[in-house]
Chains A and B, each alone.
Chain A
Amino acid sequence: MKKFLAMLLAIVAVLGLSACGKDDGLTMWCIATKSDSNRHSYEAAIADMEKKYPDTKLNWEAIENETYKQKIKAAVSGNNMPDIFFTWSCAFLGDFVKEDKVYCLDEAYKGFADKLPEKMCKNTTYNGKKYGVPLTMNIVGLFANLDILKEVGYDDVPATYEELIECCNKLVAAGKIPFGCAGKETWCVTEYLESIIEKSIGAKALDDIFMNGATWDNQDVAKAVDIFQEMIKNGYFDPDGISLGNDDVKANFMAGKYAFYMNGTWNCGEFAGKEGFNVKVAEFPVIDSSKAKLGQLIGGPSDTLAVAKSAKDAENTAKYTLELGQLICKYGYLDGCGLPAWTVDYNADSVNALTKSVAEIVAKSDYMVLFGDTAMPADEAGKYLEQVAKVYGGEVDGAGFIAALKAAIR
């Protein structure tokens, strides 16, 4: 027993030692974990900031995405927020703003207005006040494996919807699988479904449904859902996709199993970096040209940094955060992790070809609708994803989809 107690005492002593010592300086939480594609841009930006402000020490930590959502909420309810924190735009940050936990950036923004276009702050502006520093942004792109397209006689990505369908038919006839889509991760299904809906009903109509309180009871949405399901029925999608996660599907695409893969443009860096992978990125073609047109995209600034109201020396921290965000954005763009939300005032020639072509697509675009699950409040997003999963699983058709969402949301 004495041994036991001695051990206990020893442990308590060790605990006492390791417990003390809180560091000074700013704290930041983000989700750029070691293997995240954004990791390098954070590291480079922070190194730059430390060189510029040697007196300000930034203690930062990256937490895995899903746990992070828990951790930041727990910290908010326990009043233990870090000074700077990563957040998604629209609803996620909006909840914290509503609880008056976030520091308003209007004052600090004045010094950066020439570098950060007003419209990039749209998703983090609440009641006319700015609360977020946008980083990189991403859109949904149609990635195409040109080597596989060549086998069925295409040198480029089909430009119209009719050509795309024809191409898919040829692929299927040749025993190739046109699309891969991870059914185990519903957000991957939305990458397809949202693009199809947008190119059928138009960006404005979709945006109104996502963000501005328009009803889901829209026959055109139902039609678009039916188009998606018909594509599945026609064998355009890998039937195994329903059991796969995004990592599997992406690995399959990179291994040449699919001709197309619709996903976020954060993949550009990885695809461009793969030796001998002949891939191109394009916009999903227009389905109903009376309502939609090219240049209407899914995506927009979502990754954001915000400053806690409880931050030390909040106004200076806000300026620091804006500057840091600008740098993260720059390095992120140079790494091919996404497009810049901030004005490019540096040499960006080294950016990979894929990201460059995405930049061209975005430059020509005139309307971006944010990813549905980011745009909607969390509870609505949950109901929405639930129905999207059912669409992919063939459990509901277009009419069922809009009826269910009309009942559950509007």
Chain B
Amino acid sequence: MATKKSYNYDQYQVRKTKRWVNVVVTIVLVIWAVINLYPLYWMLAFSLKDNDQILVTNRFGLPKGLPSEWIWSNYKEAMNTGPIGKFFLNSIIITGATIILTTLAAMMASYAITRIRWRGSEAMNRIFMLGITIPIQASIIPVYLVVSKLQLINTPIALIIPYSAFALAMALLICTGFMTQIPKELDEAAYIDGCGRSKVFFTVILPLMKPAVATTAIYTFLQCWNELMFAQTFMTGLKSMTLPAGMAQLFGSHTTQWGPIGAALVIATFPTILFYVLFSRRIQDSFIAGAVKG
């Protein structure tokens, strides 16, 4: 944003903000960033250690030992849990489809609720809000019964639909929030031009909803990428496991070897982080792209 105009801007900023305030703010931000980066480092560190080091001698993953003492076999063990590529693919398909389904359903519903006036729209919105309130732990058996009646157990749909349903309410909340901020005049102009409802939705509203799409997608992703309970209950067999379900096989019933779990978590987390790092600029840009203000 370093345009010519910002010259003025900087001048004012320099005059108004004291130097020491900036220094303090910078220090605080750096410390905060370090705190937030540390778990990542720690996860890497403990993926290369054994139980004795993780639990007793070196709990914080300090760089004590030589690289030759790193236990790379943890990774081998984590990879041995099964077809890890297939786990990945399952997770990507399920999460991807959930994001698309949730976003689409939430966008459409929030259009009907916020842009068309009808009696009961408010009540409808509230009913949908019930979705935020349901504790997912209490839903396993009832949802299992629905899914198994539909003969969907062990298919990706068995997870996509419940995940979407549980993410829906929050997605709807985000979407309606963004949508009410779009000035009504925009649709009205389009109606005058003779556009129908659906055309307005697709050509006028949707393009302005990029930040909502990004926010909803991130939320939905976080909800289902690491989800374990449904994934383990509704899916059976190595072929249909998601990544977290596959990795959960590393937890033993009396003792757990934490090293391989660390390795598994690194394997499961790093693609996410890589993806985020690669696309964060895009995601962040999409926030700014939505800036249309009346």
Contact = CB atoms under 8 A, between A and B. Distances in A.
Direct contact of A and B (CB under 8 A): yes
Contact of B100 (A8, A22, A65): A8
A4 B100 contact: yes
Interface in B30-70: 51-52, 55-57
A224 interface: no
A389 interface: no
A33 B253 contact: yes
B202 A34 contact: no
A22 B156 CA distance: 14
A36 interface: yes
B204 interface: no
Contacts of B218: none
Nearest to B258: A247
Contacts of A73: 141
B97 A11 contact: yes
Interface in B221-261: 228-229, 232-233, 236-238, 240, 248-258, 260
Given A63-B232, A247-B55, A266-B254, 5 more contacts: A34-B77, A36-B254, A247-B256, A251-B52, A264-B254
Contact of B255 (A14, A37, A77): A37
A15 B93 contact: yes
B206 interface: yes
A329 B238 CA distance: 25
Contacts of B253: 31, 33, 36, 64-65
29 contacts: A1-B202, A8-B97, A8-B104, A15-B97, A18-B93, A18-B156, A31-B253, A33-B249, A33-B250, A33-B253, A34-B77, A36-B253, A37-B252, A37-B255, A61-B236, A62-B249, A64-B251, A64-B253, A67-B233, A70-B229, A77-B144, A77-B145, A78-B145, A247-B51, A247-B256, A247-B258, A248-B56, A254-B52, A266-B254
Nearest to A27: B236
A15 B96 CA distance: 12
Interface centre among B57, B160, B256 (most CB of A within 10 A): B256
Interface in A64-117: 64-65, 67, 70-71, 73-74, 77-80, 82
B248 A64 contact: yes
Contacts of B249: 33-35, 62, 64
Interface in B97-112: 97, 100-101, 104
A165 interface: no
A40 to B, nearest CB: 12
Contact of A35 (B55, B153, B233, B251): B251
A270 B250 contact: no
B254 A267 contact: yes
Chain A contact residues (Cβ within 8 angstroms of B): what range?
35 or more
A7 interface: yes
Interface of B: 51-52, 55-57, 77, 80-81, 90, 93, 96-97, 100-101, 104, 140-141, 144-145, 148-149, 153-157, 160, 202, 206, 228-229, 232-233, 236-238, 240, 248-258, 260
A78 B250 contact: no
A173 interface: no
Contacts of A247: 51, 55, 255-256, 258
B34 to A, nearest CB: 26
A71 B233 CA distance: 5
A93 B226 CA distance: 31
Contacts of B55: 247-248, 251-252
A328 B80 CA distance: 22
B236 A19 contact: no
Interface centre among A27, A37, A74, A248 (most CB of B within 10 A): A74
A19 B51 contact: no
A246 interface: yes
